[in-house]
Chains A and B, each alone.
Chain A
Amino acid sequence: MLIFDQSRPGRRAVIPAAAPEDALSDLPESLRRQRSAPLPEVSELQAVRHYTRLSQKNFSIDTHFYPLGSCTMKYNPRICHQLASLPGFLARHPLAPEILSQGFLACLHELQEILREVTGMHAVSLTPMAGAQGEFAGVAMIRAYHLSRNDHHRREILIPDAAHGTNPATAIMCGFSVREIPTDSQGDVDLAALRQAVGPQTAGLMLTNPSTLGVFERQITEIAAIVHEAGGLLYYDGANLNAILGKARPGDMGFDVMHINLHKTFATPHGGGGPGAGPVAVNTRLEPFLPIPIVGKEGERYRWLTEADRPHSIGRLSAFMGNAGVVLRAYVYALLLGRTGMGQVADYSTLNANYLLAELVKAGFEPAFPQRRASHEFIITLKRQAKTLGITAMDFAKRLLDLGYHAPTTYFPLLVPECLLIEPTETECKEDLDAFIAAMCQIQQEAESSPEQVKGAPHHQPVRRLDEVRAARDMDLAWQPTES
């Protein structure tokens, strides 16, 4: 039932301060709304009950193991939420003077420094509001860099075929064209193809490392040399930074620019699809182009660096200071990890992934890259099950929901048929990993003995499989009030 179905004319929940009768008398009729907005009229209890019940129809990290590959669904510490919600942070107006904001600015400046240190980059801007906006900032900086050198012919961005869809979409948004680079059979970039592809038109290469295939790109030094010799820059997509935090740094690998998904590596909540945050980090040659505002420190005072300080900046990507509240949560998380905690994130996320992989292989599942060590995530392919039993990766995913597990990422990356991309994260304990393995084995058995049980899944969710074709065809995208 929709909230609108519970609506009755005249019913009220929260009653705000009353306005004087003639409050709107100075507004011309032609500018006024003629009919009330079609919003629900419900009691406070109705609203609270309705949305509480809706929340109970969700899988979430707090309620379920959520091994969604490439999304780093680790525990979101409550303390980060609580401290970012202190009244002095929540009530602060974004345009409040610096003199009243030193504490807030100090948090941001320190996070900039922490991110510099763990990435091995030279400078950081916290403003991008999601990974994709971080990518946008990074690629826009690559463009600004080449243009600043009057190098107008670099119009092409190279992207491995295993990359996230955001990479090519970002390159296009920044006015570039895209050339795909193939992957070799071991999951590394095809170096010969890369050498063929680079040239005076190359603006840069976007790379995720460890890659979306769940393995570390071993030839990264050679890749960096090839791209740099051709005059291009190297972009690091930070989607998988969790795997190497404290173990290796993109700056040392030769990357010129990168983004960091704070909602992945730094444990800020995913909120049902945001808000996230995607700070960018750069080396010295790209520093002048960083998006503003940035927090600077002069003596003991913090201040915003804006257009006047950074005339070559690619500009502002949000009206104020990005997703400041997300940034504060990430800062608290970084404080709680400290110097030794950073490397433990990589240690235990990698341990969990490799354990899960090893046990699933023992149970008969087929890894996509059997010769390779898993990073913090790995891929299994169900092409054998699809061929011999008619049970697809989608079927496995849906049956997992019935057994109380959020499904891994399905059908991504596109290179591996019938794949599940599984990322357990470091915050899951061994018992829960073992239970997940048992669930996978159960589904495998069902696939052999009672395939309908799997093909028809889920059976125990609020809805069964949905008619997505009908959703796209009928386009019922908003409730319509009935004419009265």
Chain B
Amino acid sequence: MPFIPHTADDVQTMLDAIGAPNLEALFEEIPPTLRLHEPPSLPEALNEQQATRLMEARAADYPRPLCFLGAGAYEHHIPAAVWEIVGRGEFYSAYTPYQPEASQGTLQVLYEYQSMMAGLTGLAISNASLYDGGSALAEALLMAVRANRKSKSKRILVPRTLHPLYRRVARAIVHNQGIELVELPYDPTGGHTPSEALAPYAGQDFAALVIPQPNFFGVLEDVDALTDWAHQHNILAVAVVNPTALAILKPPGAWGETGVDIACGDGQPLGAPLASGGPYFGFLCCRKEWVRQLPGRVVGRTVDLDGKPGFTLTLQAREQHIRRSKATSNICTNQGLMVTAATLYLSLLGPQGLEQVAATCHANMRTLVERLTQIPGVRSVFHRPVFHEAVLRLPRPAREILDGLLVHGILGGFDLSDDYPELENSVLVCATETRDETDLQRYTMALADLI
């Protein structure tokens, strides 16, 4: 019996103590018509060795192509020490720190994480994480609707330059509460959200404006102007940011005259492997005035009976286990272990290290775009500066060329034709710090070869 320690003697002794004749008797309160009398129709158990063999074969199906695909999930180098420490049983197999005296490790990690995210975003407050970037945006929008008491409309302005999957996730979650997302067009030459896109909405009632930085095209938005426009119209500004980019880009807390109200995003670049999409974690930061509208766990520093500093979950009056139907969200379990990884990742890189990672990503992207656009028929679609992704137009349908690159062992990028049909034959390419000169050459030669 895997993982079950009972000997036959144990079972008998325990049944005697209970006064039950056998194990079946323990289920006597389940109505007989509902009881199963046969085990489920499933395969027989595998042992560790058999399971290993099966899973190794399954994992080997993925040949680990050279990755130039980003679109919301980024291959970064993860220092060895990160998962060596995160994988310790004391972190891995603990639960939510309901008993703070026995959970000071997890609680202090979360406090340090909150501090690092507040520092990166330039905002006062961070929660202890949400599920992922897409669902964090949904929570940020629900939060903005609650917080913006000047707005009655439950309408939110969302640029089309925001990740299309984030837009879908946000809609799937917030539309249940009657919240409407109004899409803003982008500038066809800059790839950003121009002020002209906002002008038609001036004077109308909106709860929030979403500002991605960089946006889905990799392009840098005019974040100061967008933030100020929102505030001039009593609209809350909600930033969606890449945490690596924050090492070199202006933090949302400093955008425009007063900074944004809420910033969120996906923490995956900070120590989480690509892993088919998860687990990652969502981060959510805000100005101090909105703290009571914040969803999710928050850790605070306090003192114990002897005046010794310690950490505990706090502001729980916002949460479902206390407030039930009046809670700010239904979230309880979030992504604690991934946040532990992020805290280690940021500690090991430090400010200079993270800047170096971000700068190398950016430099690799610039080199890649220069090289690829020298191939006849390949050109940059947008002229504005980017972070570590860019949109390239190809002479043929992107799908066809991406399939060709795959034969060369290259994951060449994201085909934009489904989400942006107007961007014909276009592909979103990404280069992080993990790509080196050889990789860039390999991509360039393969693409030239195909075209």
1/0 per residue B317-343: CB within 8 Å of A?
101111111110111111111101001
> A249 CA to B42 CA in the complex, in Å?
15
> Could you list 18 further interchain pairs (A-B, Cβ under 8 angstroms) beyond the known A23-B359, A118-B40?
A17-B436, A37-B354, A54-B104, A89-B62, A96-B411, A97-B406, A131-B332, A166-B320, A221-B34, A273-B297, A320-B165, A324-B278, A340-B39, A350-B26, A428-B5, A429-B6, A430-B13, A466-B302
Q: Which A residues lie within 8 Å of B115 (CB)? A: 2, 4, 38, 478-479
Segment of A71-79, A280-288, A380-388, A442-450 in the binding face: A71-79
1/0 per residue A80-105: CB within 8 Å of B?
01110011111111111101111110
Closest beta carbon of chain A to B35's beta carbon, Å: 6
Contact across chains for B333 and A130 when beta carbons are under 8 A apart: yes
Residue of A nearest to B254 (CB): A34
Query: Given A32-B249, A398-B101, are A62 and B5 also a contact pair (CB < 8 Å)?
Result: no
Contact across chains for B54 and A47 when beta carbons are under 8 A apart: no
Check if A106 is an interface residue, CB within 8 A of chain B.
yes
Contact across chains for B48 and A54 when beta carbons are under 8 A apart: no
A465's partner among B30, B34, B124, B304 (CB-CB below 8 A) is B304
Of all A-B residue pairs in the complex, the 6 with the closest CB atoms, nearest first, are A338-B45, A320-B277, A62-B89, A271-B337, A315-B172, A88-B59
1/0 per residue B30-45: CB within 8 Å of A?
1101111001111111
Closest beta carbon of chain B to A346's beta carbon, Å: 8
> A248 CA to B353 CA in the complex, in Å?
54
Segment of B128-136, B181-189, B231-239, B440-448 in the binding face: B128-136
Residue of B nearest to A457 (CB): B101
**Most chain-A Cβ atoms within 10 A of its Cβ — which of B1, B166, B172, B333?**
B333
A24's partner among B92, B248, B305 (CB-CB below 8 A) is B248
B112's partner among A4, A175, A462, A471 (CB-CB below 8 A) is A4
1/0 per residue A239-260: CB within 8 Å of B?
0000010111100110000000
1/0 per residue A29-59: CB within 8 Å of B?
0111110111111101001101110111111
Query: Given A93-B411, A114-B42, A319-B266, are A467 and B347 also a contact pair (CB < 8 Å)?
Result: no
Check if A60 is an interface residue, CB within 8 A of chain B.
yes
Check if A406 is an interface residue, CB within 8 A of chain B.
yes
> A346 CA to B40 CA in the complex, in Å?
13
Residue of A nearest to B279 (CB): A275
Residue of B nearest to A59 (CB): B102
1/0 per residue A318-339: CB within 8 Å of B?
1111111110000010111111
Contact across chains for B357 and A16 when beta carbons are under 8 A apart: yes
Check if B308 is an interface residue, CB within 8 A of chain A.
yes
Check if B394 is an interface residue, CB within 8 A of chain A.
no
> A173 CA to B210 CA in the complex, in Å?
21
Q: Which A residues lie within 8 Å of B110 (CB)? A: 272-273
Contact across chains for B81 and A175 when beta carbons are under 8 A apart: no
Q: Which B residues lie within 8 Å of A428 (CB)? A: 5
Contact across chains for A314 and B327 when beta carbons are under 8 A apart: no
**Most chain-A Cβ atoms within 10 A of its Cβ — which of B26, B102, B315, B325?**
B102
Check if B350 is an interface residue, CB within 8 A of chain A.
yes
> A31 CA to B224 CA in the complex, in Å?
8
Q: Which A residues lie within 8 Å of B173 (CB)? A: 136, 173, 317
Closest beta carbon of chain B to A107's beta carbon, Å: 6
Check if B423 is an interface residue, CB within 8 A of chain A.
no
Check if B220 is an interface residue, CB within 8 A of chain A.
yes
Query: Given A39-B351, A348-B4, are A358 and B344 also a contact pair (CB < 8 Å)?
Result: no
Check if B400 is an interface residue, CB within 8 A of chain A.
no
Contact across chains for B18 and A358 when beta carbons are under 8 A apart: yes
Check if B290 is an interface residue, CB within 8 A of chain A.
no
Check if B100 is an interface residue, CB within 8 A of chain A.
yes
How many chain A residues sit at the interface, stated as a range, is: 35 or more
Interfacial residues of chain B within 175-201, with CB under 8 A of chain A in the complex:
176-178
Contact across chains for B3 and A427 when beta carbons are under 8 A apart: yes
B248's partner among A32, A143, A322 (CB-CB below 8 A) is A32
Query: Given A275-B335, A315-B168, A319-B165, are A471 and B274 also a contact pair (CB < 8 Å)?
Result: no
Contact across chains for B330 and A166 when beta carbons are under 8 A apart: yes
Closest beta carbon of chain B to A240's beta carbon, Å: 13
Contact across chains for B304 and A103 when beta carbons are under 8 A apart: no
List 28 A-B pairs, Cβ < 8 Å.
A23-B363, A27-B220, A36-B247, A47-B347, A54-B105, A60-B90, A87-B59, A88-B59, A91-B274, A118-B42, A136-B330, A165-B327, A173-B177, A249-B36, A275-B335, A275-B336, A326-B279, A401-B101, A407-B99, A412-B321, A427-B3, A429-B10, A458-B102, A465-B101, A470-B303, A475-B291, A475-B300, A478-B114
Contact across chains for A461 and B330 when beta carbons are under 8 A apart: no
> A116 CA to B81 CA in the complex, in Å?
39
Query: Given A26-B385, A36-B352, A248-B35, are A31 and B363 also a contact pair (CB < 8 Å)?
Result: no
Interfacial residues of chain B within 250-300, with CB under 8 A of chain A in the complex:
250-251, 254, 266, 273-279, 281, 288, 291, 297-300
Closest beta carbon of chain A to B172's beta carbon, Å: 3
Check if A171 is an interface residue, CB within 8 A of chain B.
yes
Residue of A nearest to B62 (CB): A88
Contact across chains for B274 and A93 when beta carbons are under 8 A apart: yes
> A359 CA to B288 CA in the complex, in Å?
51
Residue of A nearest to B44 (CB): A338
Contact across chains for A272 and B336 when beta carbons are under 8 A apart: yes
Residue of A nearest to B291 (CB): A475
Closest beta carbon of chain B to A257's beta carbon, Å: 15
Contact across chains for B223 and A31 when beta carbons are under 8 A apart: yes
> A258 CA to B26 CA in the complex, in Å?
24
Residue of A nearest to B79 (CB): A14
Contact across chains for A58 and B105 when beta carbons are under 8 A apart: yes
> A456 CA to B305 CA in the complex, in Å?
9
Contact across chains for A40 and B350 when beta carbons are under 8 A apart: yes
> A415 CA to B273 CA in the complex, in Å?
43
How many chain B residues sit at the interface, stated as a range, is: 35 or more
Check if B85 is an interface residue, CB within 8 A of chain A.
yes
Contact across chains for B356 and A19 when beta carbons are under 8 A apart: yes
Q: Which A residues lie within 8 Å of B303 (CB)? A: 466-467, 470
1/0 per residue B215-240: CB within 8 Å of A?
00000100110000000000000000
> A263 CA to B13 CA in the complex, in Å?
30
> A363 CA to B48 CA in the complex, in Å?
41
Residue of B nearest to A172 (CB): B325
Closest beta carbon of chain A to B115's beta carbon, Å: 4
A103's partner among B13, B60, B114 (CB-CB below 8 A) is B60
B305's partner among A27, A165, A335, A464 (CB-CB below 8 A) is A464
> A4 CA to B350 CA in the complex, in Å?
11
Query: Given A96-B411, A169-B327, are A101 and B102 also a contact pair (CB < 8 Å)?
Result: no
Closest beta carbon of chain B to A131's beta carbon, Å: 6
Contact across chains for B2 and A336 when beta carbons are under 8 A apart: yes
Contact across chains for A39 and B340 when beta carbons are under 8 A apart: no
Check if B75 is an interface residue, CB within 8 A of chain A.
yes
> A130 CA to B296 CA in the complex, in Å?
13
Check if A220 is an interface residue, CB within 8 A of chain B.
yes
Contact across chains for A324 and B55 when beta carbons are under 8 A apart: no
Q: Which A residues lie within 8 Å of B381 (CB)? A: none
Check if B171 is an interface residue, CB within 8 A of chain A.
yes
Residue of B nearest to A38 (CB): B119
> A470 CA to B418 CA in the complex, in Å?
53
Q: Which B residues lie within 8 Å of A276 (CB)? A: 333
Query: Given A47-B344, A58-B102, are A39 and B349 also a contact pair (CB < 8 Å)?
Result: yes
Closest beta carbon of chain B to A127's beta carbon, Å: 9
A430's partner among B6, B20, B275, B333 (CB-CB below 8 A) is B6
> A109 CA to B6 CA in the complex, in Å?
33
Check if B11 is an interface residue, CB within 8 A of chain A.
yes
> A100 CA to B69 CA in the complex, in Å?
14
Query: Given A103-B59, A463-B308, are A248 and B34 also a contact pair (CB < 8 Å)?
Result: yes
Q: Which A residues lie within 8 Å of B27 (CB)? A: 244, 247-248, 346, 350
Closest beta carbon of chain B to A356's beta carbon, Å: 9
Contact across chains for A325 and B275 when beta carbons are under 8 A apart: yes
Contact across chains for A73 and B95 when beta carbons are under 8 A apart: yes
Contact across chains for A96 and B62 when beta carbons are under 8 A apart: yes
